[in-house]
Amino acid sequence: MTLIKSISGIRGTIGGKVGDNLTPIDAVTFAAAYGTWIKQQREKDDYRVVVGRDARISGDMIQSLVMQTLIGMGIHVVDLGLSTTPTVEMAVPMEHADGGIILTASHNPKQWNALKLLNTKGEFLNGEEGKKILDIANSGEITFAEVDDLGIITKNQAYFDLHIEEILNLDLVNVAAIKKANLKVVIDAVNSTGGIAIPLLLDALNVDYVKLYCEPTGHFPHNPEPLKEHLTDLSEAVVKEHADFGIVVDPDVDRLAFMDENGEMFGEEYTLVACADYVLSKTPGNTVSNMSSTRALRDVTETHGGTYEASAVGEVNVVTMMKKNNAIIGGEGNGGIILPELHYGRDALVGIALFLSLLAEKKIAVSKLKASYPNYFMSKKKIQLTPDLNVDALLKTIEEKYSKEHPTTIDGVKIDFADSWVHLRKSNTEPIIRIYTEAKSQDEANNLADRFIEELNALANK
C-alpha cells in the first residue's frame, strides 16, 4: 500500500495505516493544508472552492471528507459531484472561486485515489505552491472556523453542459461539418465520468455512438490506462459495429486515445499530433509537449511553419512553457490535449471535438489519417523501485556514461540519438522509473528500452 506526497498533490491507496496510505485522516489533513494555503493567498470574507470527482469506488467517501474539512475551515464549497478534471478546471474561474480540488487518481487502478489541487485560474499548482501545502500539512498549524463562520456546500450539476457549450462555441470546432459527416463511434469510458460527458458532447454534434463501459460505477472493466493491451473489447466493438473509430478516455477524462476503423490503435501519442495538425492548419503558431512525447509533433509543427519546444514532464510544466512560447496548442503524449483558447488544462472533450472536425473536413478514414503522419514507434516501460534504491545516483551514472550524446537533464535523463531517443525519469505519481523510447520501428524502440532496463538493473545490483 502506498501514499505519495508531492508538489502535484497527494495520491495513495485506500485503507491501511495513517501516513502509509490514503486514509481518511490523510485526506482531511491534506484538504485542511490546502484550505489554509487558500486563505493565505488573500484576506477576504468569502472563500470558495470547487470540488468534483471521478467515479472510482472511494470517490464519494474522499469527497465527503474533503468538503466537510473545507466547510470546517469556513470555506464555501461548490459541489460538482461526478465530474471530470477539465470540467472542474473550467468551473473554478466560472465560479470566481479561490481554487478547486479534483478527487481522482487518473489512470491508476481502483484501489488508488488522489487530491489534485487547482489555483484560482483552474490550473494545477506549481512546485513552490505545492511545497507550501506540504509544509503546512507537516507543521500541523491549521486553524478551523468557529461555529458561526462555517462554510456551506452548494451543489451545481450544470457544468457538464457549460463545458460542452464552451467547446461548441470555439471557432475551431466545425459543428456544421461534423453534423453532416454521419460519423459513428464506440466509446470506452472505463465505467467512469467520461460515460456521462462524452455522450452529451456527441449528442450535441449529431454523432452516432455505441456505449462500451459507460456506467459510472467505478468498477473498471480493465486497467484504466488507455493502452493497446487493455483495449481488446473496444477493438472488437469498433469492427463489429462498423464504426468510424473508437474513443477511450481515462477515469477523469484528461487523457484521450483513438482506435481506427480496423480496430487498430491510432496511438495515444498521435492524439496530440492530429489535433495540433488541425489547429495549426487554421491558425499558425507554436506547440509544446513534454520530453517523453513523440517527435512527430515537432515535425508537424515545423511543416506548418511553427516552432516546437519540449518541457519537463507534468501538466504544469507544459502549461508554463506554453505561456512562455505563446503556444496555441500543446499537451502530453499520453493523449492530453491543452487548448489555451478554452483553458490551460488537458481536456479529452475538446480533443474529441477537434478530432471530429479534422475528420469531417478531410473526409478521410482514421487509418489513412494516421498513415499521413511521420511514422515513429514508442515503447513505454517501467522498473519498480525499492525503498533503498538511490535513483538519482543511478540516473547520474547513466548521464555520465552517455555524456557524448549531450543528454538533457531538466527532468530525469533524456538521450537523443540520431534516429531514436530514450527518456529515463522517476514518476511523480508512482514508485517507479519510467523508461520511454522512440525509434523508426517498434522492434528498435522495444530493444532500446530493454537495453536501458538491463543497464539500470545492472547498476542497481552492483
Active-site positions read: 106
Q: Contact, 346 vs 414, CB < 8 A?
A: no
C-alpha 133/C-alpha 37 separation (Å) is 6
Taking the chain, what is the end-to-end CA distance rounded to the nearest angstrom?
A: 28
C-alpha 430/C-alpha 95 separation (Å) is 33
Pairing of β 47-53 and β 99-103: parallel
C-alpha 245/C-alpha 448 separation (Å) is 31
242-276 as b/e, with b when 16 or more CB fall inside 10 Å?
Answer: ebbbbbbbbbbbbbbbbbbbebbbbbbbbbbbbbb
Question: How many CB atoms neighbour CB 237 within 10 A?
Answer: 21
DSSP state of 439: E
C-alpha 126/C-alpha 144 separation (Å) is 25
C-alpha 284/C-alpha 267 separation (Å) is 24
30 CB-near residues (< 8 Å, 6+ apart): 5, 10, 115, 133, 137
C-alpha 75/C-alpha 219 separation (Å) is 32
The amino acid at residue 41 is Q
Helix or strand or coil: residue 78? Answer: strand
Q: Which long-range contacts (CB under 8 A, 24 or more apart) does 163-168 make?
A: 163/84, 163/86, 163/87, 163/90, 163/91, 163/197, 163/349, 164/197, 164/200, 164/201, 164/204, 164/349, 166/90, 166/342, 167/201, 167/342, 167/349, 167/350, 167/353, 168/204, 168/205, 168/353
All three cell numbers of 232, joined, read 481488446
Alpha helices in 344-462 (DSSP H): 348-362, 366-371, 391-401, 442-460
The amino acid at residue 191 is N
- Which helix (H) or strand (E) element contains residue 380? strand 377-384
Nearest to 189 by CA among 159, 209, 211: 211
Which residue in the block uniquely carries the three cell numbers 488537458? 346
Q: Contact, 26 vs 1, CB < 8 A?
A: no
